[in-house]
Structure 1
């Protein structure tokens, strides 16, 4: 994978001034035929940040080039027959995307050839996905609280997209991955989001670990492939719905239905601080900036987007900037995603205004 360009790191004191000067780019999808019909529930950047995937409740799955916002430069991936709940790129194969839908399937896509390369019927209604850092495993979570591991066997050499979605098609079968759904693992408590640790499996230490948020306010640290629970964090007083590990692995961010984001030190599993936004409402997802200094969360309940998208400094817990959103009190912010190597922030909005849909702060004019 090509190394990400080095960026100057913004200190807390300069963040508001520098980030506040960035322009916001809008990405209009013609699939939005009526107000509220095209709510984007999930966003994901590919590893090099050249593409961003957006999945919607109306089953639209579109891949955008952030620097070319006209829809003719995007790719519409068709196949799901119900709303797209989660999209994730393979961390080591830049053109390989996974998506899940309440149609009961997990689909895998080659965004260069614009084709679905595999479809797995995993039963139930999958609504969450997480990909291990070595690209070997995906955990799919169903709404009936069953976790389904998926084995991904890829060629030894990562297949990296170099020039966005216009790159040449996948050459042939030998370079294709294979996907196998393994034995499902029912959970004894409501299970929401999952994410893997940054640890890479090695011959001397083959187990992976992932984090699973639950409806009883806890987060379980689970060993894979055994599914043994290694530790339980008593994180929130109500359901935990979102989880994200900082890029350097120092903090685990946990979002809850109590409208709080808690930051846990991964060395001793102590909660160092909590973040609270004026938006209120249950937190749907959280995202870290590439340097692990800044964090924000998505609140998708009506009325939660009217105050803007609040960005926090992780080390102090201070609110450092609020991105103006629609200003519509009925708007929500269902999804948010920081670029993997730049201070670009993608988010989606709902509501009846013409500005609803995908927006990226920083993409217009190059950004930071």
Structure 2
């Protein structure tokens, strides 16, 4: 079901609505990704199915079936749009050939729900995070785990890699962000939000605001980390200086219960951030002014939580997926 009827957005919004479609009427769509060549949109759902769509017509091309429980996250190989990886509550990571509609490898080591996965930029290494509180680094060619890091004291909610792949950034419901050396697995530093010093790597436990961190995203230039916390706030960190340099707050908390993804947009004249939200659709923030310059979706407070967003061509195209299953596609004006 594809719907191209216009949707509301704020005046002066940098994005125009293209289409929306419903992958499955009964399941939450948990994650969404463009393929590196921009020809495919992939979604994964709580029904355990990964669905592949044509990015021009939005028609379903194939369904990848094999997971026995809900799929939390998906990632395309950055060097091959035919290869996609998915992670699930069934404790497996599956590597798929899209052309063959077939699982070509299963990775297993985690002992609890796998929540997040990320490819290195060369596509030869995969990093996974789990509710078992660990991070595993995998060799994709052999399917073997290279290292397992005891990362957090609560489930790992999100991971990101710096553009040069040298640092793994992890976030957890323990309220901490940790930076690991990818090669050695050594923890380089721990970042916590501190109410008095507004972000530090050496906070005393008395004034640490331990709100769960639900999402982390490295900036394209590798100098900053964007974190989303369940206090409803997004924060931009200069992680080398252990400081929060920008804070993004809406009148309604962005997210308090769900992991609502976020991505950087660099195609526009001034850099922007697209973030999912629980009640306000997709929010478009101006990085420097911290103002919301666009609200995408129906704009109503009772709208379904937007669980993930992704961009193609530095933000020329934007997709979002929601807990009610709907996928929406937008184009930079």
Normalised-by-shorter TM-score class: 0.7 to 0.9
For the 8 Å contact 1:309–1:325, the answer to whether it is kept is no
Looking at structure 1, the residues matched to 152 and 241 of structure 2 have their Cα atoms a distance apart, in angstroms, of 26
Partner deviation per Cα, 1:239-268 (whole Å, 9 max, x = no partner) = 111000122224210011111110012553
Deviation at 1:290, TM superposition (A): 4.2
**Contact conserved, 1:289 with 1:340, CA < 8 A, in 2?**
no
Separation in structure 2 between the aligned mates of residue 138 and residue 219 of structure 1, nearest angstrom: 19
Structure 2 partner of 1:174: none
Structure 2 equivalent of residue 185 of structure 1: 149
Q: What does residue 163 of structure 1 align with?
A: none
The corresponding residue for 1:105 is 92
Change in CA separation of 1:231 and 1:274 when aligned onto 2, cut-off 3 Å: same
Tell me, in whole angstroms, the C-alpha distance in 2 between the residues paired with 1:259 and 1:188: 22
Q: CA deviation at 1:47?
A: 1.7
Q: What's the counterpart of residue 197 of structure 1?
A: 162
Q: Report SS of the residue matched to 2:12.
A: helix
> What is the alpha-carbon distance in structure 2 between the residues aligned to residue 105 and residue 199 of structure 1?
27
Q: Tell me how far 1:325 sits from its aligned partner.
A: 2.8
Report if aligned partners of 1:86, 1:99 keep a CA contact under 8 Å in 2.
yes
1:361 corresponds in structure 2 to: 330
* Residue 275 (structure 1) shift: 0.5
Counterparts of 2:89 and 2:68 in 1: how far apart (Å)?
Answer: 8
- Residue 311 of structure 2 corresponds to which residue in structure 1? 338
Please name the residue that 1:243 is paired with.
216
Which stretches of structure 1, 4 residues or more, deviate above 4 A after TM superposition? none
Give the unaligned 5+ runs of structure 2. 1-9, 195-208
Cα deviation for residue 341 of structure 1 reads: 3.5
* Structure 1 residue 111 displacement after superposition: 1.4
CA contact 2:276–2:283 (8 Å) conserved in 1: no
Q: Within 1, Cα distance between the matches of 2:247 and 2:191?
A: 14
Q: Does 1:24 align with 2:34?
A: no
Number of the residue aligned with 1:259:
232
Q: 2-side partners of 1:235 and 1:340: how far apart?
A: 32
The reply on whether 1:347 has 2:312 as its aligned counterpart is no
Partners in 1 of 2:92 and 2:284 — Cα distance?
34
Structure-2 residue corresponding to 1:203: none
Among candidates 172, 178, 182, match of residue 220 of structure 1: 178
Alignment of 1:314-333 (within 5 A): 314-325=287-298, 327=300, 329=302, 331-333=304-306
- Could you say what the CA RMSD is over the residues aligned between the two structures, in angstroms? 2.3
- In the TM superposition, residue 49 of structure 1 has moved relative to its aligned partner by 2.0
Q: Does 1:129 align with 2:117?
A: yes
Where structure 1 has 5 or more consecutive residues not aligned to the other structure, the ranges are 1-14, 154-177, 201-207
- 1:259-290 deviations in whole A, cap 9, x for unaligned? 11100125534211111124423353211124
Cα deviations across residues 122-165 of structure 1 (Å, max 9, x unaligned)? 24221111111222211111211122211123xxxxxxxxxxxx
Preserved CA contact (<8 Å) 1:45 1:340: no
Contact 2:137–2:146 (Cα < 8 Å) also in 1: yes
Number of aligned residue pairs: give it. 302
For residues 329 and 189 of structure 2, the distance between their equivalents in structure 1, rounded to whole angstroms, comes to 37
8 Å CA contact retained: 2:264, 2:315: no
1:67 to 56, 64, 87: 56
- Residue 115 of structure 1 pairs with residue 102 of structure 2: yes
Which residue of 2 is the match for residue 166 of structure 1?
none
1:296 correspondence with 2:274: yes
Give the TM-score taking structure 1 as reference length. Answer: 0.76
TM-superposed CA distance for 1:318, in Å, is: 1.2
Residues 310-331 of structure 1, C-alpha deviation per residue, up to 9 Å, x if partnerless?
2101122111111133736152
Q: How high is the TM-score relative to the length of structure 2?
A: 0.83
- 8 Å CA contact 1:261, 1:274 repeated in 2: yes
3-state DSSP of counterpart to 1:341: helix
d(CA) in 2 for partners of 1:138, 1:67: 29
